[in-house]
């Protein structure tokens, strides 16, 4: 499914609209199993974003922050090309010792996620 208009409107200040509109949300089986197997909340296989069961919550600040994080990965893939994106991501896994928060491609996505959460949770 695609993101709804309310989620897109809430996130365009943080993520390019074209990347939000490109996103294809996967919440059903078997897609939702992949993030769980890898211990993540969601995984981007652009343009598809597979969300772990219960983690796709576009009506909450935390859920929108996660969507923005994954949309940032769609942006990275668009800007670098998907093949290069995945090769660079794999290389980053080894460079960071498989530590999500230290991965060079995750750091800016985490920054976006934190900014969205801070802005939207303070708006409530």
Chain segment 50-72, per-residue pLDDT in tens: 999 999 999 999 999 999 999 99
3-state DSSP assignment of residue 24: strand
* 106-123 vs 61-80: helix crossing angle, rounded to 10: 150
Least Cα distance to 8 among 76, 98, 71 occurs for 71
Q: Would the pTM count as exceeding 0.85?
A: yes
Per-residue pLDDT at 122: 84
Q: What angle do CA 25, 27, 33 make, to 5 degrees?
A: 120
**List of the chain residues with pLDDT < 50:** none
C-alpha–C-alpha distance, residues 69 and 31, integer Å: 18
Extract the runs of DSSP E, i.e. beta strands, from the chain: 24-26, 42-45, 48-51
């Amino acid at each position: 499914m695609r993101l709804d208009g309310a989620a897109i409107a809430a996130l365009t200040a943080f993520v390019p609209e074209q990347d939000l509109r490109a996103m294809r949300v996967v919440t059903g089986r078997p897609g939702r199993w992949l993030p769980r197997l890898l211990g993540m909340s969601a995984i981007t296989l652009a343009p598809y974003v597979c969300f772990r069961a219960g983690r796709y919550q576009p009506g909450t600040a935390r859920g929108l922050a996660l969507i923005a994080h994954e949309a940032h990965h769609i942006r990275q893939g668009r800007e670098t090309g998907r093949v290069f994106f995945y090769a660079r991501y794999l290389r980053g896994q080894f460079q960071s010792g498989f530590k999500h928060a230290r991965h060079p491609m995750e750091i800016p996505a985490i920054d976006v996620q934190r900014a969205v959460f801070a802005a939207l949770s303070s708006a409530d």
